[in-house]
Amino acid sequence: MNMNLLVALDFDGTLAALKRDPAAVRLSAARRALISRLGKKAGARVLIVSGRPQAFLRRALAGSGAALAGEHGWLLEGIGSRWRHPRLALRSRQARALAAAARAAVRDLPGVRVEAKTAAVAVHWRRAPGVRRDPAGLRRVLAALLPDGWRLAGGKKIWEFRPADAWGKGEAIALAARRLRARVVFIGDDETDEEAFRRLGRGAMTVKVGPGRTLARERVRGLAGVDVMLKRLTKA
């Protein structure tokens, strides 16, 4: 029996090139059209699953027809009824307090920017030369702020406070797949994507973008490789 296909994609570093200013990242018109074509294929759905806030994803993916799971999968819309993690309200209140503490802790570090999300706090250091020389030093400062129920995770020129609840991108993708009764293809490039590769296991087709050790079953070299794979899925 044929199954539906869920194609889940990270955003930064997978669909859009990384930039020094995260707010300047944009989805190209060609890639938006490619996502739209794939989503219109019979039995296929596209899900963008990202650490970005849901509001950012709505703007960035407007007109693409893709379903969205922001905040590392703590929100899901576009596949069945709109869903939010039951602890989201609590973690949102805690995140606001944590963001204020983080801003105070890094105020003397030029180039470091604190981004308060709904259920996470990102500390960007891509534009901080001093931190680029010693990212572990910034991590120690931030680790001292960790409240119970939270963890500190790394990424590409970022440290991020995230809830320690056993929920992330992989769980959100699995939830969407159950709703669709679909087999899964997941393409990502970052540490949080490795967590999802582990969660989805051998039952999914997992694809790593770029170099580095990975749990994914396949690898593409960069965004151009992602395009090739999406075109292949559209024609399959």
Q: Which residues are catalytic?
A: 10
Quick count: other Cβ atoms within 10 Å of Cβ 22? 18
In whole angstroms, what separates CA 34 from the centre of its chain?
A: 19
Length of the chain: 236
Please give the DSSP secondary-structure letter assigned to residue 51.
Answer: S
Q: Give the dihedral of Cα atoms 133, 196, 217, 67; nearest 10 deg.
A: -110
Strand-pair category, 158-163 with 121-124? antiparallel
**How many Cα atoms occupy the beta-carbon half-sphere of 41 within 13 Å?**
20
Q: What would you report as the CA-atom Rg of the chain, rounded to the nearest whole angstrom?
A: 18
Q: What residues does 9 pair with on adjacent strands?
A: 48, 187
Please report how the helices 88-106 and 135-143 are oriented relative to each other, as an axis angle in degrees rounded to 10. 120
Rounded-to-integer distance, Cα 161 and Cα 114, Å: 11
Q: Are strands 121-124 and 150-155 parallel, antiparallel or unpaired?
A: unpaired
Return the exposure string of 122-145: e unless at least 16 CB atoms fall within 10 Å of the residue's CB, then b: bbbbbebeebeeeeeebbebbeeb
